[in-house]
Amino acid sequence: MANTTRQTAAITGAGDGIGRALAVNLNERGIDLYLCDIDQERLDATVAMLDTARSSVSTALVDCGNRAEIETWAGTITSENDRLDFLFNNAGVAYGAAFRDASLDNFEWLMNINYWGVVWCTKALLPLLEASPSGHLVNISSIFGMVGIATQSAYNSAKFAVRGFTESLQAEYRATSLTVTCVHPGGIATNIALRARTDGEASEASAEERDESFKQIARTSATKAAQVIIKGTLAGRRRVFIGWDAWFMHTLTKFMPTSYHAITTRLGSRNDDNG
């Protein structure tokens, strides 16, 4: 039977990091959850952290780089609900390589998850979001959706695309009950660097070394990030920045829109020296 009373939320990439923290936060608020992830073990670990007496929790194993799997998951949600109050397009992966060394297969792999997954999921669940009296579409971009960084051409491409896609939808739904929010996290202490793919010189460091180096500069916890996202979402904010580093980069691009690389390159070199 379709749910007509309780609030519902769908979260992609809910098996770890920000997605897991969002699930915990929303569960504490009594919001029924539809969670998906590509890894069943991580997804089960998230569910173990939730109080299923407080809200219902439905899980699905979904590769967000696969349109058919997303549409199947969305079909399940649609069959059980006549509306969806929150969609958090959170699933994401990382890939580091100078573009001359980049594998187009890896580039496409990242784009399918980080960009097309957002588009496919939004398209599939949009009718339910439109049916909510106060729907919220929340797309997770990145501060790398505002600044271009060496070895991040794939990640930058996807996150800039998510930003552009989201801001277009903000224009389309400006005078409706659907609020569209674009989130730009800075460094969040998750396992994204540990699981990243690399090519060329970027492959010289081990996954563990990349993870350690990343977490030295990723000072914001996933729990804090989820709190900021939920607060901004409920306030109807169109753009949410997470962390001082995100605010710094945003400010930098405002004052140095074509020359900020002089600063970001220097900061990157300093981080490499400290690592």
Active-site annotation, residues: 155
CA Rg value for the chain: 18
Which tokens go with 178? Answer: 């659907």
Q: Are 6 and 13 in contact (CB under 8 A)?
A: no
